[in-house]
Amino acid sequence: MKLSVSDFLKKSETIPVIDVRTPAEFEQGHIPGSFNIPLLSNEERTIVGTLYKQKGKEKAFIKALEFSGPNMADFVQKAKKIATTFNVNKLLVYCWRGGMRSSSMSWLFNSAGIESYVLDGGYKNYRRHIRESFQKPIDLIVLGGYTGSGKTEILKYISNTNQVIDLEAIAHHKGSAFGFIGQEKQPTSEHFENIFGKIWLKLDFDKELWLEDESRNIGSVYLPEEIYKKIRSAQVIFIDIPIEERIKRLIREYSKFKDEYIEFALEKIKKRIGGLNYKIASEALKESNYYQVAKIALKYYDKAYSYGINKREKRSIHSINIPTDDPKHSAKIVLDFYNSFKKA
């Protein structure tokens, strides 16, 4: 039985999802939370695809059977183990287009006594569904501020009473050249969209959504075009925290990691901060003078952020001076400020 994307995703809240595409396809992007039981390996998929183009569907199908046939028992064992873990005897299955691969595996699982459903249109249709959903209108509030302002932490407190999506947590990156430090490997931009989309689809679109101000990319990950447009046209609450407070935060966050990571990040912005500043920062790092390193880095990042925010409509920017780095208190100030101009 085939399911629409909406029905498939609704059922996925209680039924495990099986992606039968190749490991390479799965790594590029998949439905969040799904398990990979590939019908064909990366190499086998290439061979079958080439044969399909050169000899036609029948030859390709037979070759696919030659590859997958000996693995059928293993496929079933893996599927049963996953279904048992979820305490259900059901599975949701998808491939690229909802065609032969998912239909074949669904047939196999059903034959083995596991009730299985196929995603109509496959992963391709799911991707279309996710990307189209980003066009939904929502009242977006962007929290802006210079590097080291603690915006992510402030948003965590705001999330206690408001809808918030932590873009940097999804991207596994804090945005700057230093943003990779202490983070897991970044997902692909495609999979970033999938993870974001899962959260996005569960939002209440009649309520505000808070996001941190971001550029088009967060490390190697690119924001969906529609979401980036929303961020650039949204109301911005800009928190202006003194540079000394921000330097203290950066020292706390980064000095606990190996200096070689910081040195690598400095190398990446060498041309932008200038050769002399790079030399001074590099020497300061060798002496564990993190204050000097942070001060030089912030001079560049403050200038870059100012350039970006000044390209926005001035009437969309609402600034607040916050004297100390206290995220919980800052969150209250931000919310009170937002509610005051919202009522005005």
In this structure, the answer to whether residues 44 and 107 fall within a common structural domain is yes
Cβ of 102: how many Cβ atoms within 10 Å?
28
Task: Provide the pLDDT for residue 57.
Answer: 81
Handedness of CA 156, 162, 166, 170 (dihedral sign): positive
Q: Name the residue type at position 281.
A: A
In sequence order, the 6+-apart residues with CB closer than 8 A to the CB of 312 are 232, 236
| Neighbouring residues of 298: CB distance < 8 A, sequence distance ≥ 6 | 146, 147, 148, 243, 246, 247, 250
d(CA 170, CA 85): 26
- Are the beta carbons of 154 and 131 closer than 8 angstroms? no
The whole-number pLDDT of residue 343 equals: 66
pTM, two decimal places:
0.93
Both 209 and 123 in one domain: the answer is: no
DSSP code of residue 325: -
Residues in contact with 126: Cβ distance below 8 Å, sequence separation at least 6, in sequence order: 5, 8, 9, 31, 94, 119
Catalytic positions are: 95
Q: Are 197 and 280 part of one and the same domain?
A: yes
pLDDT (0 to 100) of residue 344: 59
Are the C-beta atoms of residues 59 and 39 closer than 8 Å to each other? no
Same domain (yes/no): 184, 94: no
- Domain span at 66: 2-131
User: Domain end: 131, 159, 182, which one?
Assistant: 131
Q: How high is the pLDDT of residue 158? A: 98
Rounded CA-CA distance 56/50 in Å is 9
From CA 224, how far away is CA 210, in angstroms rounded?
Answer: 16
pLDDT score at 162? 97
Same domain, 91 and 165: no
Evaluate whether 320 touches 334 at the Cβ level (below 8 Å): yes
Q: Judge if 111 and 203 occupy the same domain.
A: no
What does the pLDDT read at residue 130? 97
Considering its fold, how many domains does the chain have in total?
Answer: 2
Q: Is the dihedral of CA 77, 79, 80, 84 positive or negative?
A: positive
Question: What residues pair up with 116 in beta bridges, in sequence order?
Answer: 91
Contacts of 171 by beta carbon, 8 Å cutoff, 6+ apart? 186, 187, 192, 218, 219, 221
Same-domain pairing of 121 and 140:
no
Does 7 lie in the same domain as 75?
yes
- What 3-state DSSP class applies to 274? coil
For residue 170, the model assigns a pLDDT of 97
Q: Give the residue from 106, 131, 156 where a domain finishes.
A: 131
Q: Of the candidates 84, 103, 131, which is a domain's last residue? A: 131
| Residue-level pLDDT at 328 | 97
Return left, alpha or beta for 121; rule: phi > 0 is left, psi -120 to 50 is alpha, else beta. Answer: left
Q: How far apart are CA 190 and CA 142, in angstroms?
A: 23
pLDDT tens for the chain, residues 1 to 344: 899 999 999 999 999 999 999 999 999 999 999 999 999 999 999 998 899 889 888 888 888 888 988 899 999 999 999 999 999 999 999 999 998 899 999 999 999 999 999 999 999 999 999 999 999 999 999 999 999 999 999 999 999 999 999 999 999 999 999 999 999 999 999 999 999 999 999 999 999 999 999 999 999 999 999 999 999 999 999 999 999 999 999 999 999 999 999 999 999 999 999 999 999 999 999 999 999 999 999 999 999 999 888 888 888 899 999 999 999 999 999 999 998 877 65
Distance CA 4, CA 46 (A): 29
The CATH number of the domain holding residue 164 is 3.40.50
Give the integer Cα–Cα distance in Å for 47 and 64.
9
8-state DSSP, 187: P
DSSP 77-114: HHHHHHHHHTT-SEEEEE-SSSSHHHHHHHHHHHHTT-
**Quick one: 61 and 203 in the same domain?**
no
- Domain match, 221 and 322 both: yes
Per DSSP bridges, beta strands 17-19 and 140-145 are unpaired
Closest-CA residue to 134 (of 8, 9, 230, 33): 230
Distance CA 41, CA 36 (A): 11
Output the pLDDT for position 211. Answer: 97
| CATH code assigned at 78 | 3.40.250.10
- Same structural domain for residues 182 and 97? no
Beta-strand (E) ranges in 241-336? 317-321
| C-alpha to C-alpha distance for 71 and 65, rounded to whole angstroms | 10
* Cα 67 to Cα 25: distance, rounded to the nearest angstrom: 18
In this structure, the answer to whether residues 126 and 161 fall within a common structural domain is: no
